[in-house]
């Protein structure tokens, strides 16, 4: 059950304490208050956990500070979009706002290799006014003999350069919880000149201890990548571990599914699930066209498959695009064949914005026939 408090009631307020006190008078019920930054307002929700199925709603509805009481489905208790709950989960991090209404592109290095390439990447981003990027320091590789990333050794120059070129958020994968501290310390040493979004890679989608660790800290938002060989339901449940541990500043990323049926692409592109994740959860949805397609093949219209699938995700409502670029892809130590060139950056961004505009026009067109959004799949 979720108790939605009226506007301006903070999690620390006496009104919330009253609700929690009443809830915890019932046997085996635990209550947690969370601040939700919705698209239009900030509000507090109190989550009642444990034996809540027989809990009456009325005593909670009687509190003057309670707006409404929502009985939630068992599935996706924290990240789910439950009947009657209209606020999507949004948040601001280091001056950048993320929600199901926002849109950002994170072009950048799959893996950090040299300070020179990192600087060339960031300089190119600044030239086109982009403040969000990706930069892998800790790389989970299929073979132990492949480049594993420079790890914490590269963080000082990555953060210093990010600050210098006005980068506000870097999506950076972590493979072990100890790396959260390494990132925190390096950011402090660099004077907090940039921000980091902790990326959970597809290979760690069910590493529950790592998910709990990123959920227990609230400093950094989390980019959760769908597991490549598990169902969407299993990935959403795994993602629920992050929110359930206390951090609901999460983006859910689609990155293609591992199956030979996706060939000749690296993975079977799953961006048809963008509206599904937006409907089942309140999280902003990211797409990763680079790891989905994995190569720079060009269609007869001259457009790269990577740009085509990017458009497919954006036209369906994606809120973020994570995409590989490299100044010299032939020298890249990881995933060079799928990296776009810096001189393709401006074109890629313009193409993506064109499609985003078309998506917004589609929404406006839909709104003209009335009825608003309908939530049909409430499983």
**Least separation in angstroms between CB 130 and ligand PEP:** 17
Strand partners, 256: none
**Least separation in angstroms between CB 129 and Mn ion:** 25
**Least separation in angstroms between CB 338 and ligand PEP:** 10
Choose the one of Mn ion, ligand PEP, none that binds residue 326, judging by a C-beta under 5 to 8 angstroms depending on kind: none
**Rounded to whole angstroms, what are the CA distances from 17 to 5, 26, 243, 371?**
11, 15, 21, 38
Rounded-to-integer distance, Cα 227 and Cα 209, Å: 15
Return the SS3 of 93. strand
**Least separation in angstroms between CB 110 and ligand PEP:** 5
Choose the one of Mn ion, ligand PEP, none that binds residue 201, judging by a C-beta under 5 to 8 angstroms depending on kind: ligand PEP
Choose the one of ligand PEP, Mn ion, none that binds residue 255, judging by a C-beta under 5 to 8 angstroms depending on kind: ligand PEP
**Least separation in angstroms between CB 272 and ligand PEP:** 17
In terms of CB distance, is 151 or 246 closer to ligand PEP? 151
Q: Which residues are near ligand PEP by CB under 6 A?
A: 110, 136, 173, 201-203, 225, 255, 288, 291
In terms of CB distance, is 71 or 203 closer to ligand PEP? 203
**Least separation in angstroms between CB 255 and ligand PEP:** 4
In terms of CB distance, is 45 or 335 closer to Mn ion? 335
CA dihedral 167, 193, 285, 45 (to 10 degrees): -150
In terms of CB distance, is 194 or 202 closer to ligand PEP? 202
**Least separation in angstroms between CB 112 and ligand PEP:** 11
Choose the one of Mn ion, ligand PEP, none that binds residue 81, judging by a C-beta under 5 to 8 angstroms depending on kind: none
Rounded-to-integer distance, Cα 57 and Cα 55, Å: 7
Picking from 273, 258, 283, the residue whose alpha carbon sits closest to that of residue 203 is: 258
Taking CB atoms, the residue at the shortest distance from ligand PEP is: 201
Q: Which helix (H) or strand (E) holds 17?
A: helix 14-23
Parallel, antiparallel or unpaired: strands 91-93 and 96-98: antiparallel
Choose the one of ligand PEP, Mn ion, none that binds residue 202, judging by a C-beta under 5 to 8 angstroms depending on kind: ligand PEP
Strands (E) across the chain are located at 2-5, 29-37, 42-50, 66-70, 91-93, 96-98, 104-108, 132-134, 169-173, 195-200, 222-225, 250-254, 285-287, 320-324
**Least separation in angstroms between CB 107 and ligand PEP:** 12
In terms of CB distance, is 106 or 359 closer to ligand PEP? 106
Note whether 198 and 162 are within 8 A (CB).
no
Rounded-to-integer distance, Cα 301 and Cα 297, Å: 12
In terms of CB distance, is 136 or 289 closer to ligand PEP? 136
Tokens 């660790």 belong to which residue?
Answer: 213
> What's the distance, CA 357 to chain centroid?
21
Choose the one of Mn ion, ligand PEP, none that binds residue 160, judging by a C-beta under 5 to 8 angstroms depending on kind: none
Q: Which residues are near Mn ion by CB under 5 A?
A: 110, 335
Choose the one of Mn ion, ligand PEP, none that binds residue 108, judging by a C-beta under 5 to 8 angstroms depending on kind: none
Note whether 245 and 215 are within 8 A (CB).
yes
Rounded-to-integer distance, Cα 311 and Cα 23, Å: 47
In terms of CB distance, is 142 or 260 closer to Mn ion? 142
- Angle among Cα 329, 96, 46 to the nearest 5 degrees reads 125
Choose the one of Mn ion, ligand PEP, none that binds residue 179, judging by a C-beta under 5 to 8 angstroms depending on kind: none
Choose the one of Mn ion, ligand PEP, none that binds residue 270, judging by a C-beta under 5 to 8 angstroms depending on kind: none
In terms of CB distance, is 167 or 171 closer to ligand PEP? 171
Picking from 126, 143, 133, 130, the residue whose alpha carbon sits closest to that of residue 111 is: 133
CA dihedral 142, 134, 317, 235 (to 10 degrees): 40
In terms of CB distance, is 270 or 335 closer to Mn ion? 335
**Least separation in angstroms between CB 113 and ligand PEP:** 13
Which ranges constitute the DSSP H helices of 62-207?
115-127, 155-164, 178-189
């Amino acid at each position: 059950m979720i108790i939605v408090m009226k506007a301006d009631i903070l999690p620390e307020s006496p009104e919330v304490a009253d609700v929690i006190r009443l809830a915890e008078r019932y046997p085996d019920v635990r209550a947690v208050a969370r601040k939700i930054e919705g698209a239009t307002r900030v509000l507090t929700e109190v989550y009642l956990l444990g034996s809540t199925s027989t809990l009456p709603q009325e005593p909670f509805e009687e509190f003057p500070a309670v707006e409404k009481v929502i009985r939630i489905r068992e599935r996706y208790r924290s990240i789910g979009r439950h009947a009657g709950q209209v606020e999507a989960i949004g948040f601001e991090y280091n001056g950048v706002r993320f929600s199901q209404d926002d849109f950002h592109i994170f072009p950048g290095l799959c893996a950090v290799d040299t300070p020179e390439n990192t600087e060339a990447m960031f300089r190119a981003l600044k030239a086109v006014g982009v403040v969000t990027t990706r930069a892998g320091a800790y790389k989970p590789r299929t073979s132990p003999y492949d480049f594993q990333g420079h790890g914490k050794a590269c963080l000082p120059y990555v953060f210093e350069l990010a600050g210098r070129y006005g980068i506000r958020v870097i999506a950076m994968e972590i493979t072990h919880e100890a790396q959260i501290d390494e990132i925190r310390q390096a950011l402090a040493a660099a004077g907090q000149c940039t921000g980091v979004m902790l990326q959970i890679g597809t290979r760690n989608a069910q590493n529950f201890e790592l998910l709990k660790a990123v959920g227990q800290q609230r400093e950094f938002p989390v980019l959760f990548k769908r597991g490549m060989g598990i169902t969407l339901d299993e990935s959403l449940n795994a993602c629920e571990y992050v929110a359930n541990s206390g951090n609901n500043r999460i983006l859910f990323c689609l990155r293609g599914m591992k199956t030979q049926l996706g060939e000749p692409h690296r993975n079977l592109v799953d961006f048809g699930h963008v509206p599904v994740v937006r409907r089942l959860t309140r999280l902003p949805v990211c797409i990763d066209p680079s790891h989905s397609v994995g190569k720079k093949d060009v269609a007869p219209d001259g457009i790269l498959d990577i740009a085509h699938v990017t458009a497919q995700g954006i036209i369906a409502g994606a809120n973020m695009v994570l995409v590989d670029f490299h100044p010299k892809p032939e020298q890249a130590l990881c995933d060079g064949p799928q990296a776009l060139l810096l001189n393709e950056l401006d074109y890629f961004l313009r193409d993506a914005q064109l499609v985003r505009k078309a998506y917004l026009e589609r929404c406006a067109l839909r709104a003209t026939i009335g009825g608003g959004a309908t939530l049909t799949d409430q499983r």
